[in-house]
A = this chain, B = another copy of it.
């Protein structure tokens, strides 16, 4: 089989450290990968003023997949790297599915008292290209007592239907076959109506999937009090952002939360990244847990059709997690998981 052409964007802060471990595992699993590193993020921005040059974006389009570490640094004003680099990639490559499993691995302590491992096992299908992330809105009379600042949530039938269909397919393939729409239909009535109608309509094609609805506020509560309510969750971009960090928290922490920004049709490369950020406070100290990145590598392999390899990586992670004792460095965790993958 031909080599996998992988674009690697380590990014900022701990991004570099965790990506190095992800690549180690990827090599150990025996895939023929050709990684090409791209220097994008805060350092490049400060050096050249560039976030994501058009030529680089075009080049990235030619890869089979992208592995990303983390983007963002306090030295750059909020929104610049997020919008012009991370979100630009998600939008340009039409990553309309932001797939985020929320699964408690055996042996991992959840902060939720008395919650059995099997009660936390869901997949959040977060829309990735619309909603409040569209970036539309503006400001008038900035800095005056009469300032007005707006943000717009844009939702299209096209955008909602395709991610809802994806979520139904996911739900159909899981044992519980349950799909929960999370939104705020009682306040965001225009967008909520579109989401709810779309779920209702697509549900008719999936009689084997049971559907449910939960307001985002109630869902946040249930993530903590009754996580077993959820199997597949489909939600918009912003609600998905919030609820997957909460999901990471209940499933043992942001150090374990993986994600895929997926273009299901393969019209552009999909991009895999840990849910965590660049964590400048612990960067360069070998303290970051690379597990989230390694699980993202497993999702990447799965997406490329390398299901056995994906499963091997996930099993290695599960085994490593189950035996965690004393604190280990980023590199040590990477080495230990690599050894299990190779062994």
Contacts and interface: CB of A to CB of B under 8 A. Distances in A.
A238 interface: yes
B132 A145 contact: no
Contacts of A137: 152-153, 188, 190-191
Nearest to A218: B245
Best-surrounded residue of A114, A158, A194, A243 (most CB of chain B within 10 A): A194
A82 to B, nearest CB: 4
Interface residues of A, number: 70
Interface in A107-162: 109-114, 132-133, 135, 137-139, 141, 143-158, 161
B194 A139 contact: yes
A221 B246 contact: yes
A187 interface: yes
A98 B249 CA distance: 27
A158 B145 contact: yes
B72 A186 contact: yes
B189 A79 contact: yes
Q: Copy number of this protein in the oligomer?
A: 2
A72 B215 CA distance: 13
A115 to B, nearest CB: 8
Best-surrounded residue of A225, A249, A250 (most CB of chain B within 10 A): A249
A147 B139 contact: no
A220 B193 contact: no
A264 interface: no
Nearest to A195: B149
Contacts of A248: 221
A340 interface: no
Given A220-B249, A249-B220, A151 B188 contact: yes
Contacts of A246: 220-221, 223-224, 246
Given A135-B187, A224-B249, A242-B242, 4 more contacts: A112-B112, A144-B157, A151-B155, A221-B246
25 contacts: A78-B189, A78-B196, A82-B186, A83-B186, A111-B112, A112-B113, A138-B190, A139-B190, A143-B197, A146-B157, A149-B156, A149-B191, A149-B194, A150-B152, A150-B154, A150-B190, A151-B152, A152-B152, A187-B238, A220-B220, A220-B242, A221-B248, A224-B250, A225-B249, A242-B242
